[in-house]
Amino acid sequence: MARANQRVLGIVVAFQPSRDALTSLVETIALQLDALLVVDNTPKGSEGAEAIFRMRAPPSNVQIQSLGQNLGIAVAQNIGIRIALEGGYDYVLLSDQDSLPDHDMVQGLLCAMEQLQAQGVKAAAVGPTFTDRNTGITFPFQAKVPGKFFYGHVRATEERPVVEALTLITSGKLIPVEALLDVGSMREDLFIDKVDIEWCLRARARGWRVFGTCLGFMNHTMGDGDLDVWYFGWRKETNYSPVRIYYQVRNYVALCRDGGIELRWKVRNGWYTFGVVYSQVIFGKYGLKALRMAFRGFWDGLRDRMGKYVPS
């Protein structure tokens, strides 16, 4: 459980979850929190969190809220955030359904946050170091690097366990409620993909800072598997469905239309987004379907057609 003077509400967003993955996550993370809320986007008629835990009761501090339809990750997170604000919690901890934190991850994140606050740092969020279970890659943090115009990457180490980052992924992100009250909630029209990035960039624009740490660690599953991709040599990349390609491209275009985001981030992330499309179209199993969805996402982003993807 979180420290007595720091009440933490965990928010797990579920969508047609794997029984084993969700139960492992909930049983591991609930012990580290004062309360855990599972907000389930699973449509009616499919097995969701309630059905999973009907057979195996969750820990006593866990509540499940089923929405009966997929309203998107941001809507689900905002439901939990409102409950945290109304309940007087000090922090929220966001998590995807396909993450598995170490048994002491939350304590490590709180320790990092307390160190920053003791130094007078206006910290909007702290995130753990994570390894992608599909590729086996332990990811560094996206950050400004001296001598580079565009952003680079840094790793937290024993010598420097807390590092400043530009953005953090959703899962494992610890956010103080003061930051939420000032920065605001998650942008719901993005639906999924880049919701985490947009919030971090918005926080930074308001004078807050975000950090990554190796004091907390988790395993995380990105996408739908891995791909062998050639990019000046063979490497492992994440495999995504065509619909996820649509959201990544559309939401990138939407963020490019946001005047509060730095141009150099837009240019650098544009290269990353192009790389995702390249890897999926050339080396992924969906090929031309992924390309068509990328073009659809680009067009919908230009005309500000946001929210849930609706096939035409």
Report whether 11 contacts 81 (CB < 8 A): yes
Beta strands in the chain (DSSP E): 8-14, 35-40, 62-66, 91-96, 99-101, 123-132, 141-143, 152-154, 162-165, 174-176, 209-220, 226-230, 234-238
**CA dist., res. 196 & res. 119, Å (int):** 25
Per-10-residue mean pLDDT of the chain, 312 residues long, equals 78 97 97 98 95 92 97 98 98 97 98 97 98 93 90 95 97 98 98 97 97 98 88 90 97 96 94 96 95 98 97 84
Residue 248: which H helix or E strand, with range?
helix 242-256
Residue 226: predicted pLDDT = 86
Domains of the chain, CATH where assigned: 8-220 (3.90.550.10), 226-302 (no CATH)
Report whether 125 contacts 202 (CB < 8 A): no
Q: What is the per-residue burial (b if ≥16 Cβ within 10 Å, else e) of 183-202?
A: bebbbbebbbbbbbbbbbbb
pLDDT tens digits along 105-119 = 999 999 999 999 999
What the block records as the tokens of 218 is 């988790």
Long-range residue pairs from 62-67, CB within 8 A, at least 24 positions apart, any chain: 62/26, 62/30, 62/35, 62/36, 62/37, 62/38, 63/35, 63/36, 63/37, 63/38, 64/37, 64/38, 64/40, 65/37, 65/38, 65/39, 65/40, 66/40, 66/42, 67/39, 67/40, 67/41
User: Could you count the other beta carbons within 10 Å of the beta carbon of residue 69?
Assistant: 10
- Ramachandran quadrant class, 129 (left: phi over 0; alpha: psi -120 to 50; beta: rest): beta
Residue 4: predicted pLDDT = 52
Please state whether beta strands 123-132 and 209-220 pair in parallel, antiparallel, or not at all (unpaired).
Answer: parallel
**Closest among 128, 109, 104, 108 to 28, alpha carbons compared:** 104
